[in-house]
Chain A
Amino acid sequence: MPQEYRLILKHADQPGYTPDLACYVRHGGYDALKKALATPGRELPDGKKQSPQEVLRDDVLKSGLRGRGGAGFSAGLKWSFVDRRGGKPIYLICNADESEPGTFKDRQILYKDPHQLIEGMVISCWANDVKLAYIYIRGEMAKGAKLLNQALAEARAKGFLGKNILGTGYDLEIHIHRGAGSYICGEETGLIESLEGKRPYPRIKPPYFPAVLGLYLAPTIVNNVETLCHVKHVVLMGGVEYAKLGTPNNTGTRIVSLSGDVQQPGYFEVEVGKVTLGEIIFDRNFGGGLRPGRSLKAVIPGGSSSKVLKAGEKFKLRRKGADGQMSAVEVDLLDLPYDFDSLQQAGTMSGSGAVIVLDDTRSMVETLDNVAEFYAHESCGQCTPCREGALWMSKALHRMTTGDGRREDAEYLRQIAQNIQGRTICAFGEAAAWPVLSFVKKFNDEFVARGAADEAARASTPATAAPVVRVAHP
């Protein structure tokens, strides 16, 4: 029977566990930092010398740790892109702007175990020669910001932070920056702009890759809360040992936020790839199944921007056999291992680890209307396709859910969405387009039927109704 594997959330929910430093230290807190700071340099077989920091960065690369924010990019690789020769200070930013609908994992860490994040950050900063770091926390998490500030003060008082950390001569300061409540601030370059006091307009890449031209146009690392916490465990376990958790190329654990039509919504920390989507939804250690009498209709597997998966869908996954040969294996939706690569091969993504379950009582048109409204509301409006397209789709869907649908609206929506994806400054374009594209493609019949029903209803009513009634967006 699949079990949770609690690494990050090992202590968080234990009775009596409090977010203060004393409790954290009692549970072995800051041991990883001590270990990291004591890391010796080494000489490689080829004669090259590695500094202690390089050793640690190498370890993170070997751990296979992938970003837990959404894109699943290798954390070690991200660190390796940092421009360390330019002479500019290097900044590290913790992205705590958790706002992807369906996601509530970072919040658990921030509220219940803030020192774990701080320890992960101090280690990461030390490994990257960072002297100044920021935690950009979602504006709505007011209490989280307060807790973090308390935790930072405690850490500073005990010498885990500030000048001359643990007597090593290493100085680091961490500041909390509260966002003002915009989804786009979670996009790393939008976050950087916001942190600089500007409108959170994502930057164009090239030339503004954060690793080279980030905060204040200096090299900058932006990592998710959960990712930074994992760094602590990579240090404690060693990169090679850590990589044994989870599955190859999908190492470690991750926290899944489960919501929607399940009996036990909540967050579960699992080894990546060791648990299937079906187990997350149906196993009594996790979602506990659907409500009585309901059947599964669809799953949004990685936050609301990921492409929806339809119940009964089959996917061809590339799998390495025992003989080392790659072969295609057909897998049902429910048997899809919950990891980065499998979901990508299934045409979607594990994103922020938020699984949203829809049962047969859900209207896909209404669900998509809800999702599209979110993206129309959150589009920053910087670039044309997303600014205009996101609201356009939302208006069309709102029209469909208020009795003014048309048979051709499915195709209409598909074409609008296609003109957004891949043409925007940041990945928000995809985030807005993918739900629409996938819903309309996989549930085309439902959309067409809804439009047809509206057309029929209009045809049978007196001629006062225009063929298309213009509906103002709410």
Chain B
Amino acid sequence: MSNAATTAPAPAAPPPVEKIRIRVDGREIDVPKTLPDWQGKPQATTMLQACHLAGCEVPHYCYHPKLPVAGNCRMCLVEFGTPVMDPATRKPVLNEDGSPKIARSVLPYEPQTPRGAIACATPISPGMELYPGSPATKQMREAVLESLLINHPLDCPICDQAGECKLQEYSVQHGQAGSRFVEAKVHKPKAVDLGPRIVLDDERCILCTRCIRFTKDIAGDDALGIVNSGSYNTIATFPGRPFDNNYTLNTVDLCPVGALTSKDFRFKMRVWFLRETRSVCTSCGSGCNITIGSREDTVHRYEPRENDAVNSSWMCDSGRLNYRWIGRPDRLQNVLVNGIKSTWKAALTEIGSRLTAAPAGSVALVASARQTCEELYLLKRLATRLGAVTDSVPREGEGDRLLVAEDRNPNSNGARLTGICYTEMGLQLPRIADGIRSGAIRTLVVFGEDVTLHGIGPDLLAKLETLVVSDILPNATTAAAHYVLPGCAHAEKRGTFVNVKGRLQRFLKAVEPKGDGRPEAEFLQELAAGLGVGGGHATIEGLFNQMAKDVPAFAGVEWAHLGDTGVNVPI
């Protein structure tokens, strides 16, 4: 554990940002001269950013704040004007009332009608006037939308994007009601199998190239491109090379229309039925922020949620698709005592008395780094009370340069900071195995791990007097347990994780637990109360705040501080 973050000198105050005064639809506003571009580098503030600061959203398709600017959709065209300068003095020319004279931008040829600039790529200059609400701007938007729709199949009733489609949204906000198009539409390939996880409908595609830019510039895989020309332009992969990297599904999120769809999600659920819950992905230690889309008690999809401290706006495909276990039919649903269905009260009372009776040193506890900080904190308290040795199970895989961490536990740092394990996880596991073998350890508490895979085999488990196991799916350890306590998937409870970089993040509950399953923190509190070591927090907020007082790394943090994107803690 290092305290580098707390002892480092406070960063020097950033230099004051120069402001530029402009007008947006007549309203004066000072905006910074520079703002971060897609890579976070300061660049001249664009008209689109300035309008946003002025509280006026400029519609756009191809522009995405995290992608290089393309400027191809033309939806963000905005009429503008610039101060007239006296060519001799280089001073602004004034109107009779003393206000600067503004030249509205017009076509440089007859009929000199208003000319817009693409707000996504045009920098602002002092004294500039932007007219995002002017009739000319509206006409330009209408015209672009019309162009985008003439060859669009208009198949919203069967389109997966319906309900979260920018064509639909902007049509309502900026479009025309009728169509005057009387020609035959362009037909393009439908249901193109782009790769193992992506299907493309070329007729719905508006050729904004977000998918191409993401795949090339963010995922680092120059896999997508455009073939053919003009209105027949078509997104394509190289012949015979499927679109298959671990980030392909981000293109589905980025696609503003229903062109790119996820094979996993398409035709499964109308998006407007989905309840959105802010959560965190559990597939590795990166802790990508996600939105869980669920209906009633079924999780239907994960989508990345923007957090610049963690995952920007992206997540990997493997993490995104790793949610089906939550709804597996073999989920543990019953409290079991010696294999017989019991009640929480009966089981916890029995476990409590067994643990109380266990002599110090005869108890060991294996917790999982997939559990929440709150749960690990309670387990550590229990272990301290019982004089138990504790550890957790390391889980490693191959990392990548973008988001996937080698550490495949979502909360390894939580396990370390709460004292469940040492920096090197799993050091105690052989000791626990030896203890069981020698008869010194007679009681084992296991949370969320199948210890038979980690050196404590069924033969050793059979030697135990008491084996208490909490998990959510059956395995060899739950099969050997005297007590089985059904727990919750992260989507079924609230709690916090600390990611590999020390980001303490909370996640919220999306669906109800299965059967008699209960959040571990809840029944652990009851168990701890029975042993006289705490409990009594009715809410996760109270428990978290208690934990923050007791765990040095979390000092000063309260649940309310975590917000949707978390805080950094020293690791």
Contact = CB atoms under 8 A, between A and B. Distances in A.
Interface of A: 182, 199, 201, 204, 206-207, 347, 376-385, 387-392, 395-396, 399, 412, 418-419, 421-425, 430, 468, 470-473
A1 to B, nearest CB: 35
Q: Which 6 A-B pairs have the closest CB atoms?
A: A381-B233, A419-B143, A388-B147, A204-B71, A391-B231, A395-B183
A384 B231 contact: no
Interface string B412-449: 00000000000000000000000000000000000000
Contact of B143 (A201, A376, A381, A423): A423
A389 B147 contact: yes
A419 B146 contact: yes
A473 to B, nearest CB: 7
A388 B121 contact: no
B146 A379 contact: no
Contacts of B122: 206
A468 B110 CA distance: 33
A182 B118 CA distance: 26
B186 A423 contact: no
21 contacts: A199-B225, A199-B226, A201-B72, A204-B70, A204-B71, A206-B123, A378-B229, A379-B229, A380-B229, A384-B148, A385-B144, A385-B147, A387-B147, A390-B230, A390-B231, A396-B183, A419-B143, A423-B140, A423-B143, A424-B74, A430-B109
Interface in B134-165: 140, 143-144, 146-148, 150-151
B230 A387 contact: yes
B74 A395 contact: no
Interface string B175-187: 0000011111010
B143 A473 contact: no
B72 A378 contact: no
B115 interface: yes
A389 B151 CA distance: 11
Given A347-B110, A380-B229, A421-B107, A473 B144 contact: no
Contacts of B118: 204
A196 to B, nearest CB: 13
Given A376-B230, A378-B230, A396-B183, A385 B143 contact: yes
Contacts of A471: 183-184
B73 A384 contact: yes
B116 interface: yes
Contact of A182 (B115, B207, B229): B229
Interface string B201-230: 000001100000000000000000110111
Given A421-B107, A470-B184, A381 B230 contact: yes
Contacts of B74: 383-385, 423-424
Interface residues of B, number: 42
Given A383-B73, A423-B74, A425-B71, 5 more contacts: A381-B231, A381-B233, A383-B71, A388-B231, A419-B143
Given A423-B77, A472-B184, A381 B232 contact: yes
Contacts of A378: 229-230
- Which one of B74, B116, B118, B148 has the greatest number of beta carbons of chain A within 10 Å? B74
Contacts of B35: none
- Where chain B touches its partner, the secondary structure class is loop
B64 to A, nearest CB: 15
A423 B140 CA distance: 8
Contacts of A399: 182-183
A388 B150 contact: yes
A387 B231 CA distance: 5
B69 A384 contact: no
Contacts of B75: 384
Contacts of A347: 109-110
Contacts of B207: 381-382, 384, 387
A204 B121 contact: yes
A381 B229 contact: yes
Nearest to B107: A422
A341 to B, nearest CB: 14
Contacts of A422: 107, 113, 115-116
A169 B151 CA distance: 59
A384 B229 contact: no
A384 B147 contact: yes
A380 B209 CA distance: 14
A204 B231 CA distance: 20
Contact of B231 (A206, A376, A418, A472): A376
Contact of B226 (A381, A388, A391, A418): A381
A202 B226 CA distance: 14
B306 to A, nearest CB: 25
B237 to A, nearest CB: 15
A423 B141 CA distance: 11
Contacts of B70: 204
A412 B181 CA distance: 9
- Which one of A382, A390, A471 has the greatest number of beta carbons of chain B within 10 Å? A382
A412 B182 CA distance: 10
Contacts of B77: 423
Contacts of A382: 72, 207
Nearest to B105: A422
B184 A384 contact: no
- Which one of B182, B184, B233 has the greatest number of beta carbons of chain A within 10 Å? B182
A471 B184 CA distance: 6
Nearest to B227: A199
A419 B75 CA distance: 12
Contacts of A379: 229-231
